[in-house]
Amino acid sequence: MTTRPWIVDDDLWALIEPLLPPWPERSPGPKPVADRLCLQGILCVLHQDVAWQLLPLGLGFGSGQTCWRRLGRWQQAGVFEQLHRILLAKLNAAGELDWSRACVDGSHVRAKKGGTATGPSPVDRRKTGSKHHLICDGKGTPLHVITTAANVNDATQSLALVDGIPPVAGRPGHPCKRPEAVLGDKAYDSKAVRRALRHRRILPVISRKGAPNIKGLGKLRYVVEQTFALLHQFKRLAVRWERRLELHDAFISLACSLICWRRLKKAAS
């Protein structure tokens, strides 16, 4: 990783630029800061967890308020979700997605300023927090992430994670959307969940409460823990500062896209 990970290279910018909503031709006020510079300011906050008001003006990002507003505008336009889907399709075309299984898990983060989708954390002395629910493919590529309050049960989000996987193109035939199996720990032990997964023609591989863990399951599920580690290397996601859920989710979608971009570049090298 470079010393300035917020720098957007030309190949990635070529994917992002067509997704950005255009500015009105006759917008009031001074000429807006270039989109590429604003994106680099957003990436600086995502990587370094810099407060918006402390974003260095000398780097040309514009004010933190400018980048903050641009983040909300792009999230509302669905830019980051589209980017994630495009990169998943490119990985799928390169044979870098493993649809034989998907892994689900949850991870708690402290929510310093409260806001939507926060609650008392059962693993952090009931301090206000959120939970990231993640589903990834068999190689650990993030497919979908949901943010809820910290006290939400993992099993309640399992079907939403599966159904939230976007249709991934890139190969002949219908877009891929369903893994062959879903792997989960005892937190996902539920007859209703197993029944619903089988109805979707997905094999549930979930350890049962009060029984020994399924042999060898940990060796297959470690990728989801690895993906959480990659997500939380983006310092802005290790602790939640945004009161507005859509801004926090924008950072998550952008981080998932960057993880996919790194894997795509590695596969091409």
From 110, 43, 95, select the one nearest 257 (Cα to Cα): 43
Contact status, residue 97 vs residue 74, Cβ threshold 8 Å: no
Q: What pLDDT sits at residue 2?
A: 47
Count of C-beta atoms within a 10 Å radius of residue 261: 19
Question: Where are the chain's structural domains?
Answer: 10-76, 79-268
Q: Which two tokens stand for residue 260?
A: 């996919």
End-to-end Cα distance, the chain: 15
Please identify which residue in the block is written with the tokens 């030309």: 10
What's 186's DSSP letter? G
Contact assessment for residue 46 and residue 251, using Cβ atoms and an 8 Å cutoff: yes
246 and 74 Cβ atoms separated by less than 8 Å: no
pTM score of the predicted model: 0.92
Q: What is the pLDDT tens value at each position of the chain, 269 positions in all?
A: 446 778 889 999 999 999 999 877 666 666 688 899 999 999 999 999 999 988 887 777 878 888 999 999 999 999 999 999 999 999 999 999 999 999 999 999 999 999 999 999 999 999 999 999 999 999 999 999 999 999 999 999 999 999 999 999 988 888 888 999 999 999 999 999 999 999 999 999 998 887 777 777 877 888 999 999 999 999 999 999 999 999 999 999 999 999 999 999 999 88
Q: Which fold has domain 79-268?
A: Nucleotidyltransferase; domain 5 (3.30.420)
Alpha-carbon gap, residue 231 to 22, rounded angstroms: 30
* Residue 30 confidence (pLDDT): 63
